[in-house]
Structure 1
């Protein structure tokens, strides 16, 4: 898995006693030599992301996820079931399954495609699932998470609801995140397992205010890592940068993309 590092660029500028240099953001006056340190953007440069787009995938969810990972500076591309069956995931670090019916994903991929995804994660890849894509990662289908997704927590339909951030996470560093985010809910459930020993190794990312159950989790599978989210943090409601229009009628100033970048960095850095 690629190592994500923050690069530091150091520029040395010679300045005489009577000279000054204006540097866009900061105006600096000095005598002698001046060292200006510029920190380059921190992101997912060098990380390759495959966003699944085939039968059943909700186009706006796929578009929002593709644009989000490109915003993170990852190399993100769409892949389909046939390509996965033929081994395309060998060229990627993360595979993303957007919102859509998990049973249709299962049928379209077939045994060969499902095994390709499992093997990809077991060998050190990362799985990123949203809504139906998260259910696809549970024991109901792929078994990357040794548990299941519940039914709707807060009634049917779509709405914006607050979720509590696990700022004490022992996985992704969420200590500087807000205590809550307003996130799109769409018949969303939580994740659970009857295996309490296993569940103690699963790290919640967010909790529902209704029942304190995890709506987003991270865990490991073989040498790889897994992120599952039943709610929809991929959408930027009221913004055009996600390339999706479906939920732009909601007034939600929160953006969860920064949170998801921290999760994604943890995924690739923790995979072996």
Structure 2
């Protein structure tokens, strides 16, 4: 970029921290119009009327407060760092705004400076655009769009639009999250249908019936599904079924049962007589563990009132990797737990957050006799988002995207500077 002032012109380059000060005082401005873009970055030319100004032309990148480059083309009779510094101060700059003013002896140096400034702005642009995109990706989705959920029918031949059951509530809850939801039976599970889904939801009901209906082959299919990266949601009986062993007390008799699914290598214990004697049900208070380390509940209230219908609490002591998501207010024991299993994820809950006791949107009427203090579906959505991320790498992809953007920007900058240096050396 050659100087327009001829061989007698001198150019000084300055770096300032606040380009917006160039607009003051406005009386000295004659024009401010876009000049020819320099390396794809718009450059503005500002001309000044005052005859006492040593500056005849200023080129800046139109990004305020970044301290990028600013070049001053000076008249031969008004040269020198002191006079230029004084001019900047008189026109609204302060001492702390001026990083340096340096005289450039030839126009090639000016070209290099402007070229490098343009490249710097390009890098800043790539970072400014790329990082917010990566950050938004890191936040993840806000629903289950593009996620496929299979709801196990519990051996009951549930219809494609179930009603009046835990399976129905799970079905409509996941539909509310914008997931694609299907009801699947044990035959389909044994034949490998879970390969088409990201989440398997096993509802409340009777764990013994699940054991009989699914058998060893169905249970193995579920374990393989989770180990390979699938997710398992178990409510009440679905939680009992996922335990390595569980203790059940009914009519005064207590027994220990082993159904062989072994997702949770601990023990489930229920029902909890102090909340509701079996086969009765009741609303019970649970307290969210907002520092559980796995699932964020930053916008959820700490206390929830949820239907309890014979579900377990979980004995987690001595078992690594188990996060207590919520505890029963009644006994302060784990009511909900979450953990990773192989490449997949598991969420087990003793109470039934899928049931909406004061709404018909869960496909159930019978539970509306109970008084629910607000919906638990937002809580369930946070759990489901965590479960669904076991089948993707949202955080990893975001980090990769960020590193890729920075790498491309740095590489691009290096290549351009090498080419520019080579070009200038031949001039």
Task: State the TM bucket, normalised to the shorter chain.
Answer: 0.7 to 0.9
Indicate if the aligned counterparts of 2:233 and 2:347 stay in contact, CA closer than 8 A: yes
1:101 to 195, 206, 219: 206
Which residue does the alignment assign to 1:259? 379
1:168 to 271, 291, 300: 291
Structure 1 CA distance for aligned equivalents of residues 369 and 308 of structure 2: 14
Which residue does the alignment assign to 1:49? 149
Structure 1 CA distance for aligned equivalents of residues 373 and 335 of structure 2: 20
Deviation at 1:211, TM superposition (A): 1.9
Deviation at 1:59, TM superposition (A): 5.0
Deviations 1:5-43 (A, max 9, x none): xxxxxxxxxxxxxxxxxxxxxxxxxxxxxxxxxxxx921
Q: TM-score, normalised by structure 1?
A: 0.80
Q: TM-score, normalised by structure 2?
A: 0.52
Deviation at 1:110, TM superposition (A): 1.3
User: Is 1:222 the counterpart of 2:327 in the alignment?
Assistant: no
Which residue does the alignment assign to 1:66? 171
Deviation at 1:188, TM superposition (A): 2.8
Q: 255-264 or 184-193: which moved more?
A: 184-193
Indicate if the aligned counterparts of 1:61 and 1:235 stay in contact, CA closer than 8 A: yes
Where does structure 2 lack aligned partners over 5 or more consecutive residues?
Answer: 1-140, 246-258, 393-427
Give the number of the structure with larger relative contact order, counting CA–CA contacts within 8 Å between residues 6 or more apart.
1
Superposition CA RMSD, Å: 1.7
Which residue does the alignment assign to 2:267? 148
What secondary structure does 2:339 align onto? strand
Which residue does the alignment assign to 1:188? 311
Where does structure 1 lack aligned partners over 5 or more consecutive residues?
Answer: 1-40
Structure 2 CA distance for aligned equivalents of residues 54 and 267 of structure 1: 21
Structure 1 CA distance for aligned equivalents of residues 183 and 347 of structure 2: 19
Q: 82-91 or 138-147: which moved more?
A: 138-147
What secondary structure does 1:44 align onto? coil
Structure 2 CA distance for aligned equivalents of residues 254 and 203 of structure 1: 25
Which residue does the alignment assign to 1:85? 190
Indicate if the aligned counterparts of 1:225 and 1:271 stay in contact, CA closer than 8 A: no
User: Is 1:212 the counterpart of 2:307 in the alignment?
Assistant: no
Indicate if the aligned counterparts of 1:122 and 1:222 stay in contact, CA closer than 8 A: yes
User: Runs in 1 of length 4+ with deviation above 6 angstroms?
Assistant: none
Q: How many residues are aligned here?
A: 229
Which residue does the alignment assign to 1:177? 300
Which residue does the alignment assign to 2:73? none
